[in-house]
Amino acid sequence: MWIAKIKYRHKCILGDRCKKFNVCLQSVAFSVFKENKKTITSSMHYVSGNEDNIDNFILDLKKDKNIIKLERKENMFLLLENAEEKAVKYFNSKLIFVKPVLIDKDGYEYWEVCSWEKKTVSDFINNIKKDIKDFKLLKFIHTKVNDVFFPKLMPDLTSKQKQAIELAIENGYYLTPKKTSLRKLAKLMKVSLATYQQHLRVAEEKLIPNAVSYYK
Residues 47 and 103 in one domain: yes
Residue type, 205: E
The phi, psi pair for 145, rounded to 5°, reads -60, -30
Instruction: Return the bridge partners of 45, or none.
Output: 27, 77
pLDDT score of 172: 87
Number of folded domains that form the chain: 2
192-211 tens-digit pLDDT: 999 999 999 888 877 765 54
Residues 54 and 91 in one domain: yes
Residues 204 and 137 in one domain: no
Give the C-alpha separation, 150 to 198, whole Å: 29
Residue 159 pLDDT grade (very low, low, confident, very high; cuts 50, 70, 90):
confident
- Domain membership of residue 153 (yes or no) is no
In this prediction the pTM is 0.69
User: Which of 97, 119, 147 is where one domain is finished?
Assistant: 147
57-67 tens-digit pLDDT: 999 999 999 99
Q: What percent of the chain has pLDDT over 70?
A: 90
Residues 19 and 122 in one domain: yes
Residues 72 and 16 in one domain: yes
- Domain membership of residue 154 (yes or no) is no
pLDDT score of 149: 52
Strand 2-8 and strand 135-142: pairing? antiparallel
- Domain membership of residue 152 (yes or no) is no
Cβ neighbors of 173 (< 8 A, separation 6 or more) are 167, 179, 180, 181, 182, 185
Is pLDDT above 70 for 153?
no
Is pLDDT above 60 for 186?
yes
- Domain membership of residue 171 (yes or no) is yes
Domain range for 174 is 159-215
pLDDT score of 15: 94
- Domain membership of residue 108 (yes or no) is yes
- Domain membership of residue 11 (yes or no) is yes
